[in-house]
Amino acid sequence: MDAQELIDRLGEQARVERFAADSMLFRRGDTTRFVFGIVQGHAQLRRYTVEGAALTVHRASAGDIFAEAALFSDVYHCDGEVLTGTHVAQFPKLALQNLMQNDQAFAAAFCHHMASQVQRLRSSLELRSIRSAEDRVMAALSLRLRSGQSRLELNGTWKDFATEIGLTHEALYRALKRLQVGGRLTRSGRVIQM
């Protein structure tokens, strides 16, 4: 399930709106009214430490559904911020709750989606614990391969991939170069052979 499928499912109850870069969708402590989806662009969920340092909790791209915790919380637990000019779908919390209660197939599909997100999050946390940039890149690419595959076409940009695995894009490009020189992979644009 992605944002577009949820838009289709909710119909007129879902509202898509364009937000300018650096717009706030909600702030920590605001009353929850919506779950969100990205149609085009990027957004992030942020929290701040006691010292004021910003921590990115989640980065959402086209197709992603985010702030799902709003379904079961009275207030948002972080800030939701648009990063670029972005088309954001707003899914009313009550409409989603009603749909889940009245449509078992939808509820199962939504739970499957959430379970997949938890699995990706756990993989992401594990990847970020790998200190070597080369090993982190290889592990991240390997996780995207299906059983028996050795060729992969990257969805999105290399910069997005770098952000996803917790590297700067410069560190990623250096790691890719070393991996190619070492014969661990070949790369042509966004196509990788391992």
pLDDT band at 30 (very low <50, low <70, confident <90, very high): very high
H helical segments located in the chain = 3-10, 93-102, 104-128, 133-144, 158-164, 169-181
- pLDDT single digits (tens) 139-186: 999 888 888 888 998 877 888 788 788 888 899 999 999 999 999 999
| Fold category of 131-193 in CATH | Arc Repressor Mutant, subunit A (1.10.10)
Q: Residue 111 CA to chain centroid, in angstroms?
A: 17
Reply yes or no on whether the pLDDT at 84 is more than 90: no
pLDDT band at 114 (very low <50, low <70, confident <90, very high): confident
Phi, psi of 156 (to 5 degrees): 85, -170
Give domain limits for the chain.
3-125, 131-193
Q: Residue 68 CA to chain centroid, in angstroms?
A: 12
Confidence (pLDDT) at 86: 92
- Which position has the token pair 């170069």? 177
C-alpha closest to that of 95 among 186, 11, 185: 11
Contact 153, 190 (CB under 8 A): yes
Ranges 6-10, 18-22, 111-115, 123-127: which has the least confidence? 123-127
Distances (CA, A) of 98 to 37, 91, 106: 18, 12, 11
CATH architecture of 3-125: Sandwich (2.60)
Confidence (pLDDT) at 53: 83
